[in-house]
Structure 1
Amino acid sequence: MKKYLSILLALVVLGGCQAPTETKQNLEENYRPSYHFTPKKGWMNDPNGMVYLDGTYHLFFQHNPDTTVWGPMHWGHATSTDLIHWEEQPIALFPDSLGTIFSGSAVVDKDNTAGFGKDVLVAIFTHHNPKIEEEKTGLHQYQSIAYSLDKGKSWTKYEGNPVLPNPGIWDFRDPKVMWHAASKQWVMTLATKQSITFYGSKNLKEWARLSEFGNEVGAHGGVWECPDLLRFETAEGDKWVLLVSINPGGPNTGSATQYFVGDFDGTTFSSDQTDIRWMDYGPDNYAGVTFSNTGDQHILMGWMSNWAYANTVPASTWRSGMTIPRTLSLEKIQEHWHLVSTPITKDDQTSGAQQIGAIRVQNGSEDLSKYIKEAHGAFELSFELDAVASFNMVLANEKGDELVFGFDETNNQFFVDRSKAGDANFSPSFIQRTVAPRIASAQKMKYSVLLDRNSIEIFADGGLSNLSNLFFIDQSFDVLTFKSAKDVEVKNVKVNVIK
């Protein structure tokens, strides 16, 4: 009976719910996060079809329900009203005679341009034919659509699929579709090998090629994937940001997401950017795209893993989670626009919020453990420094696990060291120490950390420099120490214990 009670408690852990105590959790569920979305079972990777409709956020995702490794792709489905608590729904899209269901997007067809009905949800996705890929008898990826008349509960695939046949490109996938009001058309942003190709349509069924971007700019260490095109209003007029995930070739090994700031006229995206900019320097934030139908607000979620080791990270009945949702904005630093990420956390979804105020760190360290004793490995920490200074924050437990993160003033870098944070031997590609450059020029430093049972997400300087990292411990951290070689005053310290 006790065994079955443990399994039941473990299965409760989904998108913000966790078992009452760690001791009652099945040991095989040790790495299940408390407030990041994970599937109940099976494999998960890229977020897909994210859309907001009538008070509900819909998250679809790449899903293999039968095993915990990548395999025949379906679209899994989960819903939320607050982006914190998620409820997993039945699988939305299954493989068919045209292939498995790769990544894509979903839109609300408010004006019934496709003829399926007013305010119908339309999913645009890549059909991937594994038989063609294996036999190399043709081109195995093409774009198809499906529609839902009941707000995402059930889906009908369009009988005329594929709506965009492959024009001769082996990697031809991940359509992200948006309505471009100025040109009165749907615009598809599509990954095409190591560039992005834009297509236009009046009805979501017939597509015409518009332009191409990226062959000679940005990072090209791997294939380009999962693009997203976003418009931002600024004091200087509209600016457009093109997100492009790349694998491999990230700044801290393997997968990562770069971005370009420029202009889009309904046909062509252009950018004067000559440097490479990363949305998140951590190794565990990939394929992130935004929810559609959210007005001028851009809310992004990413897959919290890395293709360099995704299939081998510790798991039991499930594998992989999503990052915390974050809003995106633009900030100008020394004449260059940079993308800013702000995590979405709800104060009314937390307990034990502590406004600690200022802490004077003297004699090298200050013990902050009492503020996280009841966290069970799930809390948010934020603070400020009036001057740029090196510091280490050390999380530890009685088993000897340590996670170290902070700022290195000499190299002007934020960092996470996970070399002693539990199991790190499952892959030689699981990089031990990850870094992100400081982009901000201000002397005052702001620092925010989201810690969950198996992950840390750092948003430094208000979200200009970000680091998302997985780690694998089987006992939560309950010791927190702030260390600095200099005496420093840490201001506006706040801890939220997330339940």
Structure 2
Amino acid sequence: MTDYDEENRGQFHFSSRRGWMNDINAPVYYRGVYHLYFQHAPNSLVWDTMHWGHATSTDLVHWQQQPNALDPAVHPGDLWSGGGVVDTANASGLKNGDDDPIIVYSGTNGVTVFYSLDGGTTFSTYADGRKVVTPGGTSRDPKVFWDPVSETWGMVVWSDEGGNGVDFSVSTNLLDWTFATRFTADWLFECPNFIRMPLGDDHHWVLHAASGKYVVGDWDGTTFRTDWTGPERINQTETFAGAGYYAGLTFENVPDGRIVSMAWQGENKGSVWTGNASFPVDFTLHDTPDGLRVFSTPIPEIALLRTSSETLENRTVEDGTQQLAAGDTYELEATIDVREATRFTLRIGRDLVYDVAAGMLEDAKFPPVDGKLELRLLVDRDQLDVFGNDGAIYQSYNLRPTELELVAEGRVHVDTLTVHQLGSIWR
């Protein structure tokens, strides 16, 4: 048995070969390689002294774990969560050689800067660890972003000064920062992310917390403003540190402006490892009848893992149960007509219940489109990700999969249902 063969180890969700992992850190793309850094205690199965683990991929699907990128024996400060950028314009002046600097930000109660001049493999400490931003109160989790309108860099850092909120600072060189403004909200706790997202010919800014709660607004180069009175949720499950979804970040420097996100899933563990990353999703912004919403869809590269497919068509289940052949690592795509149904349940180690009258899947609003639902499931041993209506629904659970069943109350018509068996990412 190899380290990746334990019966509950996800086969297409990244996890560390050994030790503890939690928050996603500084995901970046550089010269054909995706770099995933993550909170890591390499010699423990529980949270302990933090390192930055490191994994790389050329397709966002198959990951190879690398030596740790930040190590407390070498790099000063608390090496807690943070973001990173690729300094393609050498705004920092740190470039020395052929590679563009990759700059990452970490630390608690003040932000410390580390930089790589070898494509993200090894990192040096900037200015002997001098704090470049120090918010009031308790603070952590810096995230840096680029604003092409004001042509400045911005940094968002969580702190509890006066309550939950974030400090925004701005810079032209990624090293010297000026405080700009503060945005507060009760829900805005830990690991903030700030994303410029296109919608048609316009752009909006999305601010989300570790929980995946978010608001949409505008950024004028120094200040974030929103008219939202409360947040929506990227992942419509109960989210908290250690849950099935937490502390997501988006990759920087991805070609074509694509917005790819990964998060921490903390409930799964084995004999030598604890925690894993979510399967990557593409974020898109949509104008819905309820307002602007962030949709999440599995990255199309998942097709690289499909080993075989089987399709069921034109099947009606009336007040009964339909057994569905599946397995323990697969992708399911289904179009289900619910116009003559009261409710239906997908049994898969837990019951996913859809209430037709309420238009709800579990506690998430999920209205049919022309009487039909588009459902997509990713099942990976002990992980389940649920997507609906092209990404309007995104839910993540930890479970032990059982045989898949569809239980109908009333008349449920399955237009099509395809099960793709998925191979392992562990080469």
Normalising by the residue count of structure 1, what TM-score does the alignment of the two structures yield? 0.77
In structure 2, the residue matched to 1:169 is 137
Which contiguous aligned blocks of 4+ residues in structure 1 show a shift greater than 3 angstroms? Answer: 386-389, 439-443
Letter in structure 2 aligned against 1:155 = F
Q: How far off is 1:354 after superposition?
A: 2.4
> SS at the partner of 2:170?
strand
Match of 1:361 in 2: 317
CA 1:335/1:368 → structure 2, altered by over 3 Å: closer, same or farther? closer
Matches within 5 A, 1:222-371: 224-235=189-200, 237-245=202-210, 256-283=211-238, 284-294=244-254, 295-305=256-266, 314-334=269-289, 336-344=291-299, 345-369=301-325
Q: Please list every run of 5 or more consecutive structure 2 residues that lacks an aligned counterpart in the other structure.
A: 239-243
The one-letter amino acid paired with 1:304 is: Q
Structure with a larger share of its residues in strand: 2
- Write the letter of the residue equivalent to 2:321: S
Identify the residue that residue 142 of structure 1 maps to in structure 2.
110
Structure 2 contact 197–205 (Cα < 8 Å) conserved: yes
CA RMSD of aligned residues (A): 2.0
Q: Structure 1 residues 484, 174: CA separation in 2 closer, same or farther (over 3 Å shift)?
A: same
1:107-143 Cα distance to aligned partner (Å, 9 max, x none): 1111111111175233332224xxxxxxxxxxxx211
Q: Is residue 77–residue 112 contact of structure 2 (8 Å, CA) maintained in 1?
A: no
Quick one: which of 52, 57, 65 aligns to 2:42?
65
Please give the alpha-carbon distance, in whole angstroms, between the structure 2 residues aligned to 1:147 and 1:442.
52
Gaps of 5+ in 1: 1-5, 14-18, 20-28, 129-140, 246-255, 396-401, 416-434
Pick aligned residue for 1:114 from 85, 92, 115: 92
1:75 alignment partner in structure 2:
52
Decide which moves more: 49-58 or 206-215: 206-215
Compute the displacement of 1:261 (Å): 0.9
Equivalent residue, structure 1, for 2:241: none
Given that 1:101 and 1:125 are in contact with CA atoms closer than 8 Å, whether structure 2 keeps it comes out as no
Distance between the aligned counterparts of 1:448 and 1:259, measured in 2? 23
Whether 1:482 and 2:410 are equivalent positions in the alignment is no
Find the aligned partners of 2:132 and 2:313 in 1 and give their Cα distance: 57
1:144-188 CA-partner distances (Å, limit 9, x unpaired) = 111111111211111342342424321x11111122122222111
Whether the 8 Å contact between 2:57 and 2:64 is mirrored in structure 1 is: yes
Match of 2:170?
200
Q: Following TM superposition, by how much is the alpha carbon of 1:36 offset from its aligned partner in structure 2, in angstroms?
A: 0.2
Tell me, in whole angstroms, the C-alpha distance in 2 between the residues paired with 1:439 and 1:176. 35
Cα distance in 2 for residues equivalent to 1:448 and 1:180:
34
CA contact (8 A) 1:436 1:466 kept: no
Correspondence for 1:85 among 50, 58, 62 = 62
What count of residue pairs does the alignment treat as equivalent?
408
Which of 416, 420, 423 aligns to 1:492? It is 416
- Residue type at the aligned position of 1:443: G
C-alpha distance in 1 between matches for 2:156 and 2:311: 44
Shift in Å, 1:56: 0.8
Residue type at the aligned position of 2:346:
M
CA distance in 1, matches of 2:80, 2:269: 24
Task: Give the Å deviation of 1:355.
Answer: 3.4
Write the letter of the residue equivalent to 1:259.
Y
The one-letter code sitting in structure 2 at the alignment partner of 1:211 is: T
> By how many angstroms is 1:270 displaced?
0.9
- 2-side partners of 1:269 and 1:442: how far apart? 38
Hey, what does 1:460 align to over in structure 2?
388
1:469 aligned onto 2:397: yes
Distance change in 2, residues 1:35/1:62 (3 Å): same
Is the 8 Å Cα contact of residues 344 and 412 (structure 2) preserved in structure 1?
no
